[in-house]
Amino acid sequence: MSEPVVHITSLTLKYQHTPVLQDLNWVINRNENWLLRGSSGTGKTSLAKAIAGLVKFQGSIDIHFGPESKLPAVAHFVAGWYQFKDLEGQSNFYYQQRYNKQATETTATVQAELENYGEKHQLQFNEVEELLAALGFSDLIGSTLIQLSSGEHKKLQLVKALWFKPQLLILDQPYNGLDKLSRKNLNSLLEEITEDGTQLIIISNEVELPSTIHRFAEIREGQLIETSADEYTAEVYETAGKAVPAFLNEAPVSSSESIIRMIDVNISYGEKQVLKNINWEVKAGEKWLLQGHNGSGKSTLLSLITGDHPQAYANNFYLFGHKRGSGESIWEIKQRMGLISPELHWYFDPTATVRQSVISGFFDSSGLFCDPGYTKKAQADELISYFGLTEYRDMLMNQLPVGKQRLVLLARTIIKNPELLILDEPCQGLDQQQTQHFNRLVDELCKNGTTLIYVGHFESQLPDCIEKRILLENGEVKTVETILESI
């Protein structure tokens, strides 16, 4: 009998001085491909990083790579969070920077990033071209890293990992931000590399998986428990059944019957046209689902609405009943809306406390820079309790697992009970119970007349209140329809 590829014995690991994994044992034999599940914050990512040698731990992790394999003898970890640097080695970007022409001149292109990666690992560039085509990424080869959407960044992470093709590949939430076709194609690519000898550990609670995944486990109370394919014990979410805070039950004041109206809107970057003749109206109280494949123009469309894109002024575009550029400031626009997106999460101040981060939603700032007063503090504490975050209230954002960071930002998004909610992939990083709990809250808010634009690739994760759908394809409106006709 051959020795196991990974043999973990009595692994104990702390996250920010708090024990997460306790005397954990795990054996991964040759040719086994695993799915690791578990509720948010249980230690899945910490375990993955320990196997890849990226964090300190107590206990032992023995990895025995195949000496006869031609693949790199590496346990390669692909994070759920993609971070990149500009040409000067800096990574302190801000949220609106991707629309700044100067910023695009100081960040590398996708092609340069891949060429550097290929040179570092002695890879053949013709092999990556096939992967780019398979994931629908070929047209972005000339784009700069800062211009990419969250789904496109995820694809770039995956392209590099598949190109590298290590003996052990650990993927943390690989399906986040990917459209349905991309998820399907990714699974096919993962099946191909396992045939070539790569072993997989996938961290995900999704059900669409490569056919080569045949071992399942989850983390419960610091221990790894092997399960069956259908068995998954989601942790009962501690805030389930709590009443929505009373201050959110008031109907938001609508400033206009028409919240958004776009008439023949076009957005171009040089010769590349990103949005083409967009006509779309969102009336007060409507609940819309915005969909489209990665790169279809969703992020650019949302940036017009949030006031972050400078080309809004060059188009026939009305927001809250006023034509853009008629004298309103960006802060007057943002005061009427609540926003969450993967990009906002990337660029949010990691040194703010949980309470400061939630309160900052009143001021549309990244972090808190003033005394908000008693009432706002009390409302923040109500929401913090509602999301089950009271014990983390005074902790810094960067001391929390990513899933709990996302809950904090969700609370920040809704705290001022805005007229317009823009939720762009709001449940990335949340477990099933947290997703259901948040969507119940969205349904409650929308009963009061809140206008909603919801971006989501997983139809099983959508709130019930959605009424209409707009579908983008290659920067154009492909369909506008009621949600009942599209699901």
Predicted pLDDT of residue 74: 96
Instruction: Count the helices and strands in the chain (H runs, E runs).
Output: 14, 19
Predicted pLDDT of residue 90: 47
User: Which amino acid, 29?
Assistant: N
**What CA–CA distance (Å, rounded) separates 191 from 199?**
10
The β-bridge partners of 279 are: none
Predicted pLDDT of residue 95: 45
Find out whether 57 and 49 touch, Cβ atoms under 8 Å.
no
Predicted pLDDT of residue 3: 80
**What CA–CA distance (Å, rounded) separates 85 from 101?**
17
Reported as type and span, the H/E element at residue 244 is none
Please enumerate in sequence order all residues whose Cβ is within 8 A of that of 65, keeping only pairs 6 or more positions apart, or say none: 5, 73, 74, 167, 168
Buried b (16+ CB within 10 A) or exposed e, 241-276: eeebbeebeeebebebeebbbbeebebeeeeeebbb
Closest CA to 40 of 473, 348, 432, 373: 432
Closest CA to 25 of 65, 61, 49: 61
Say which residue the tokens 């970057």 belong to: 269
CATH assignment of 6-227?
3.40.50.300
Predicted pLDDT of residue 83: 65
What global pTM score does this model have? 0.81
Q: What is the DSSP letter of 397?
A: G
CA atoms within 13 A on the CB side of 57: 26
Mode of pairing for the β-strands spanning 316-319 and 476-482? unpaired
Reported as type and span, the H/E element at residue 451 is strand 451-455
Taken as a whole, the chain contains a residue count of 487
Q: How far is CA 402 from CA 39, 172, 315, in A?
A: 12, 11, 37
Find out whether 136 and 182 touch, Cβ atoms under 8 Å.
yes
Closest CA to 384 of 217, 238, 260: 238
The β-bridge partners of 224 are: 219
Q: Which residues of the chain have pLDDT under 70?
A: 1-2, 16, 81-106, 232-241, 327, 460, 484-487
Q: How far is CA 97 from CA 288, 314, 347, in A?
A: 27, 19, 10
**What CA–CA distance (Å, rounded) separates 379 from 391?**
16
Q: To which CATH superfamily is domain 246-486 assigned?
A: P-loop containing nucleotide triphosphate hydrolases (3.40.50.300)
Find out whether 216 and 37 touch, Cβ atoms under 8 Å.
yes
Say which residue the tokens 């039950």 belong to: 249
Predicted pLDDT of residue 485: 45
Domain boundaries, the chain: 6-227, 246-486
